[in-house]
Structure formats: structure tokens, C-alpha cells
Amino acid sequence: MDSANSDARPARTPLRSTADTGLKIVIVGGFGVGKTTMVRSISEIRPLSTEETMTRAGVGIDDAGGVADKSTTTVAFDFGRITLNERMVLYLFGAPGQERFWFLWDRLFSGTLGAVVLVDTRRLADSWYAIDRLEYHKMPFIVARNNFEGAPVHPLDHVRDALSLSDDVPLIDCDARRRDSCKAVLIALVNHLYALSSAAALESTR
Amino acid sequence: MSPPPKPRSLDDEDPDRLYTVTGGRSRTDETSIDLVTLIVTESDATPGMQSEYVKIIEMCGRPMAVAEISADLRLPVSVVKILLCDLLDTGQVTARHPTSAPAKAQLPDPKTLKQVLVGLRKL
């Protein structure tokens, strides 16, 4: 559906020579929730994919039977790019919410501006873990419900209750296939970050 | 190593290859290099240089983020960081670090966020 459009995108253009500040936003969600679709909708380049490997000492269950038992785990993630101005480039990373990914959070995503938790109301439970981990890492986030199957059935209030989401975390609807909708999600996140950051700055001057 | 890297198959790949690419090292000062650190080539590749270095030097004529280099080389981020450390040491590339990114568990500063908002609204 959406992939046909993205293939028409021109080959990847290089960044401007004046680019000097890379920024990160992470979109977290379970399989099939629309992370890659969202990255594809808003990115100026066709989404790229890369991997990180992680050595986990002592992960191998104490079983000498596994001869070639590797001590490394690989996590793959997609990403796209948005040039913001002459100097700033925003990278959007679509990250799998599964457990092993969070071992890599500090290494890959420390310094991230903030996160979007993309949820599918048919599988809300997938989002609990991601929300829990973001809170643990003190990473500010908003939650976006992806309505790719037509009109939403439940009011957002019900989703907030089901996710035990506190009132100060923004919760919005979106359609990850639509560029303007994805843009609105990112703006909602950065507005939220701005409010938090301004409040913190004010606090520190008191 | 003779076989070219197979796309998206690191799980099946001989770990020896990654070992060879990095000269067997696993730890350097790579922690200073971020996924979105922008790398810029400063001088041409030298004859006899390992092919991964040559590729990085060729692709960073304009600034390129570490994540993009990793995707294009089809090598894990941590391996690319080690290769970049070598090139930074010899001065063949320079790094533009994301200085305005917040430290761990700190909020980004309002000024940066304002600029991000302006950029996003223009999309």
C-alpha cells in the first residue's frame, strides 16, 4: 500500500555540508504496529536499516551442548532522516520494543530527544513494557494510537486507562501512513519536550 | 577475508569476519561516537588501505551520520565505530558530535527544541 510511493523517492541525497548537529527521536512499538510506516511517511530518504550486536556475557544457559552457542545478540532497526535547517538533522529510529532491545538503549539511544510509543489498540499489552522501560530510562515520551483500520473503536480515555498512563503524558491519534499525521505526532512530542524543558529551566532559576 | 559481506545476514555470518575487519579489537574510545555523530572526510584514501576504510572515506565527502555509514556498509554500529576511531586517529575523517543533545536522563534545552519545532513545522 504505502510502499509503492516510497519507491518513487529519488536516490538518497547527501546532507548539506553545513550539517553539524545530529538529533534523535525514537519510535517504539511492537511488531506490525506501524513504526517503519511512520518513518517512511515522514523521512526525506527511503528508510535505511542497520543492526547492532551485543555481547551478553553469561547469557548462554549452562549447557555445554550448544557447540556454536554465540554470545552475541543482534537487534535490527530502521531509520529515516529529516533535515531541519542548515545545521540540524533529525534522525528517526524505529525500534522494536522487545526485551533484548532495551539492553542496547544506553549504547544506542542515550541523548535521544524523546520517544513516541506507537500503539495498536488490539495489542495494548505490547506497549506496557515499552512504557515501563522508557520511564525507567527517564526518557520523555508521548503515546500515539495508530488508526490504520479505519475509525477507532475506543475513546482515547479508555486507552489511557488501559495503559495506566498518567495525565501528563500526551496521548493522540494518528495514521502512520499519512505524512501530515506523522508530522503532527512529532510536533506534539517536541511541544511536550519543550514544555518539560522550559519548566525545568524555570525551576532551576528559582 | 574473501567472501563479500552478505546483506542482512550477520546472524549467519562467520564472526571471524567481523573480528578481522576490526583487527580483533572490541573496545576503543568509541563511546564518544554517537549514532548521529556526523562524519566528514578530510583526506583521500591512501593506497593499500583496508577496503572498509576506503568506503567510509568515499562516502563521507559530505557529512554522514554513523547510522547511515553502518547501514551502507552493512556492518553493526559497534564495528563501524571502531573503524571510525582509527580514521579519526589518523585525521582522515573528522567528527561533528551532537553537542546539543542532552546528557543521559536530561532534557534537551528549550532553545534546541524551539529550532526543532520550527524545522518540523516547515515540512
Minimum CA–CA partner of A78 in chain B: B71
Which residue type, as a one-letter code, is found at position A61? I
Q: B116, A190: Cβ pair inside 8 Å? A: yes
pLDDT at residue A7, as a whole number:
52
Name which of B65, B71, B108 is nearest A197 (Cβ-Cβ): B108
pLDDT digits (tens, 9 = 90+) for A164-200: 999 999 999 999 999 999 999 999 999 999 999 999 8
**ipTM reported for the complex, 2 dp:** 0.86
pLDDT at residue A177, as a whole number:
94
Does the pLDDT at position A84 exceed 70? yes
CA distance A99 to chain B (A): 18
- 3-class SS of residue A166: coil
Q: Which of B37, B73, B77, B80 to probe by mutation at the A interface, max A CB count within 10 Å?
A: B77
Asked whether the whole model's pTM tops 0.95, one would answer no
Q: Which residues of A fall within a CB distance of 8 Å from B21?
A: none
pLDDT at residue A186, as a whole number:
98
Beta bridge partners of A145: A119, A173
Q: B118, A85: Cβ pair inside 8 Å? A: yes
Q: Which residues of A fall within a CB distance of 8 Å from B14?
A: none
Does the pLDDT at position A65 exceed 60? no
pLDDT digits (tens, 9 = 90+) for A91-144: 999 988 777 788 888 888 888 999 999 998 888 877 888 999 999 999 999 999
pLDDT at residue A168, as a whole number:
94
Does the pLDDT at position A150 exceed 80? no
Q: B107, A140: Cβ pair inside 8 Å? A: yes
Q: Would you write out chain B's pLDDT as a tens digit for each of its 123 residues?
A: 445 444 444 455 555 666 677 766 654 466 789 999 999 999 999 899 999 999 999 999 999 999 999 999 999 999 999 999 999 999 999 999 986 555 555 788 899 999 999 999 999
Q: Please calculate the CA angle A139-A133-B76 and round it to the nearest 5 degrees.
A: 85
pLDDT at residue A1, as a whole number:
40
CA distance B49 to chain A (A): 24
pLDDT at residue A9, as a whole number:
63
Q: Which residues of A fall within a CB distance of 8 Å from B118?
A: 84-85
pLDDT at residue A104, as a whole number:
85
pLDDT at residue A48, as a whole number:
96
Q: What is the 3-class SS of A114-174, one letter each residue?
A: EEEEEECHHHCHHHHHHHHHHHHCCCCEEEEEECCCCCCCCCHHHHHHHCCCCCCCCEEEE
CA distance A17 to chain B (A): 6
A188 contact partners, CB below 8 Å, separation of at least 6: A142, A144, A170, A172
Residues constituting chain A? 206
pLDDT at residue B104, as a whole number:
53
